Amino acid sequence: MELFTNQVLAGIATGAIYACMALAVVMIYQAIDHLNFAQGEMAMFSTFISWQLMQWGVSYWAAFVITLAFSFVAGIAIERILFKPLAKAPVLTNVAGFIALFAIINSSAGLIWDFTIKQYPTPFGSAPFLGSQLISTHQAGMIGVTVLLLLGLYFFFQYTRIGLAMRAAASVPESARLVGINTSWMVALGWGMATAIGSIAGMLVAPVVFLEPNMMGGVLIYGFAAAVLGGLSSPLGAVTGGFLVGIFENLVGTYIPGVGNELKLPIALALIISVLVVKPAGLFGRPIVKRV
Amino acid sequence: MTTLLNFKDLRAYYGQVQALHGLSFSLNEGSLTTLLGANGAGKTTTLRAICNMVRSTGGIEFDGKPLNNRSTESIVRFGIAHVPQGRGTFTTMTVEENLQLGAITRKDSAGIVSDIERMYAHFPVLKQRHTQQAGTLSGGEQQMLAVARALMLRPRLMLLDEPSFGLAPLVVRDLFGILGKINREDKVSILVVEQNAQLALELADQAYVIETGRIVMSGNAKDIANNEEIRKSYLGY
């Protein structure tokens, strides 16, 4: 029983990371109807920025905040430079854009910081959380940060005018323009926020997986699985999906013989395919219904 | 009377296809003007050209200022509220959020709050449903919401694209009554595109008849309604 509880709690902790990634993916998907394959690399690059700042002697939380700001601006810049011109382009052109972005960021990170793995600090420490052996303080911190982030986003989208405008621009762009919303900038803002959220995921997961240019590969696939499971049109779904995928991954790895650590990743891919076959809209997503 | 909206030789294109062939007309401040014509005549295109949602050439002036080459969202800030065909409801949001979105370009939060109350007075059904998702409203209620959302801008000019579409005749009467009241009491100029010519002519003071992208008739709404020849050949009743 202790093993079970332990695995579930650890699953929730890693699920928090998947939830952040899924949230970032969903935010961009809502804004431009495409999956950002480079989301993980963007998060990795941001994490390197924070690491570099700490190498230069900046304290953890200062580096954290500077990285958030950097990521926000970088996300907007990427949208303006690369994806705004592609707004009316076919899906495949966009996919090519994402893959190019993936390769560019991955190689630049390798070029600047090389491919050796690096230790990344945790601000929460790694002692047992509240004296319990079940989860560490870092894992508890990951869950806490994710929950705070969610509450903040909920407040932003529900109670601020700019949040309202962003939701309007994502749901009915033409009507949004007709009430005077600059939908193009709302998309850019969505990119900025998604990139900042992704950077939080990167900085939280780096102490666990160690910092290196390929660290987000697996995480992003879990993030996609979470987003698909929860429904690509629903931020709440993305987060729920994140936690579920985290728990599912751990339980399958522990209890199904032969899966172990090596086969955990195919589990995520199998999950994506199963959801797409059985319930394409995901748990919380609304099926797209068109009146004909 | 001052001219509020003025077109000169307006041409509009969908890709290679020309939809408007040199439209010229003007709309007076405070008037309720209707643009009539059959399917495909270019009524919707005319409204879309005003808000720069379709490629067009020629002059469009609003209150003496040219509107060409401005983005749709910046044209709204001149005080032009456009209720598009199909109503453009934000279906996943609540009724009240839809109203707030109508006023998203305004800065006076106290004025917005009081205007929302004013809309609830105009349209009591919206007050009953203010926390409901707008997509769950009936067609008539959604049209009321669309008009209310447009009014939240405190517009000088309201453009309505076939407000009667898909509504029961009684609901249409109601709605047109409210439009007339808004025009008289709130001094909002209105340009309404309609297929229901009879009803539109009862409501409007000025009318234009459009056929295949050209104005073929214009004048006082009463005169057009009383001219049997025009009615039979262009308006079909």
Task: For residue range B116-143, list pLDDT tens digits in order.
Answer: 999 999 889 999 999 999 999 988 899 9
Measured from the Cβ of residue A276, the count of other Cβ atoms closer than 10 Å reads 13
More confident residue, A129 or A155: A155
What does pLDDT average to over chain A?
89
CA distance A171 to A156: 17
pLDDT at A160: 93
Tell whether the torsion through CA atoms of A57, A61, A65 and A67 is positive or negative: positive
Closest CB to A179: pick one of B74, B76, B92. B76
Q: Which of B53, B77, B52 is CA-nearest to residue B153? A: B77
CA angle A12, A17, A21 (to 5 degrees): 135
pLDDT at A256: 81
CA distance B225 to chain A (A): 32
Residue A288 has pLDDT above 80, yes or no: no
Name every chain A residue with its beta carbon within 8 A of the beta carbon of B84: 174-175, 178
pLDDT at A290: 52
- The tokens describing A107, both together, are 């190689």
| Phi, psi angle pair for B23, to nearest 5° | -90, 135
DSSP labels, A110-124: HHHH-SS-B----TT
3-state secondary structure of A254: helix
More confident residue, A151 or A264: A151
> Taking CA atoms, what residue in A is nearest to B97?
A164
What average pLDDT does the segment A186-200 reach? 94
CA distance B233 to chain A (A): 32
Q: For residue A21, which amino acid is it?
A: M
Q: Does B10 touch chain A (CB under 8 A)?
A: no
Residue B234 has pLDDT above 80, yes or no: no
Q: For residue B70, which amino acid is it?
A: R
Interface A-B, measured as beta-carbon pairs within 8 A, has a size of: 63
CA angle A156, A10, A5 (to 5 degrees): 115
Name every chain A residue with its beta carbon within 8 A of the beta carbon of B92: 171, 286
Residue A65 has pLDDT above 70, yes or no: yes
At B81-119, the pLDDT tens digits run: 999 988 889 998 999 999 999 999 999 989 999 999 999
At A79-118, the pLDDT tens digits run: 999 999 998 889 899 999 999 999 999 999 999 999 999 9
Q: Does A84 touch chain B (CB under 8 A)?
A: no
Q: Do B91 and A172 touch (CB under 8 A)?
A: yes
3-state secondary structure of B55: strand
Name every chain B residue with its beta carbon within 8 A of the beta carbon of A286: 92
Q: Does A58 touch chain B (CB under 8 A)?
A: no
CA distance B19 to B214: 9
Name every chain B residue with its beta carbon within 8 A of the beta carbon of A175: 84, 88-90
pLDDT at B22: 87
Residue B1 has pLDDT above 70, yes or no: no
Task: Work out the percent of chain B whose per-residue pLDDT is above 70.
Answer: 99
ipTM of model: 0.89
Sequence-ordered list of residues with C-beta below 8 angstroms from that of A257, at least 6 positions apart, any chain: none
CA angle A152, A178, B210 (to 5 degrees): 165
CA distance B36 to A223: 53
The band of A292, judged by pLDDT with boundaries at 50, 70 and 90, is: very low
Residue A134 has pLDDT above 80, yes or no: no
More confident residue, A191 or A134: A191
Confirm if B63 and B78 have CB atoms less than 8 A apart: yes
pLDDT at A37: 92
pLDDT at A57: 93
Q: Do B90 and A178 touch (CB under 8 A)?
A: no
Instruction: Select from B44, B73, B96 the residue whose CB has the most chain A CBs within 10 Å, as the one to mutate to test that interface.
Output: B73
Residue A202 has pLDDT above 50, yes or no: yes
> Taking CA atoms, what residue in A is nearest to B146?
A175
> Taking CA atoms, what residue in A is nearest to B99?
A179
Q: Provide the terminal-to-terminal Cα distance of chain A, rounded to the nearest Å.
A: 54
What is the largest distance, in Å, between two alpha-carbon atoms of chain B?
Answer: 52
- Put simply, whether the predicted model's pTM sits higher than 0.95 gets the answer no
Closest CB to A177: pick one of B72, B81, B93. B72
pLDDT at A22: 92
Q: Does B112 touch chain A (CB under 8 A)?
A: no
The band of A287, judged by pLDDT with boundaries at 50, 70 and 90, is: low
Task: Work out the percent of chain A whose per-residue pLDDT is above 90.
Answer: 54
Q: Does A57 touch chain B (CB under 8 A)?
A: no
pLDDT at B225: 84
Question: Which residues in B154-183 are b (16+ Cβ under 10 Å) and which e?
Answer: bbbbbbbbbbbeebeeebbebbbebbeebb
Among A69-78, A220-229, A246-255, B110-119, the minimum mean pLDDT is found in A246-255
Percent helix, strand, coil in chain A, to 5, is 75, 0, 25
Q: Does B56 touch chain A (CB under 8 A)?
A: no
Q: Does B89 touch chain A (CB under 8 A)?
A: yes
Sequence-ordered list of residues with C-beta below 8 angstroms from that of B96, at least 6 positions apart, any chain: B116, B130, B131
Q: Does B108 touch chain A (CB under 8 A)?
A: no
At B31-65, the pLDDT tens digits run: 999 999 888 888 899 999 999 998 888 888 898 88
Name every chain A residue with its beta carbon within 8 A of the beta carbon of B104: 161, 164-165, 168, 179-181
More confident residue, A125 or A193: A193
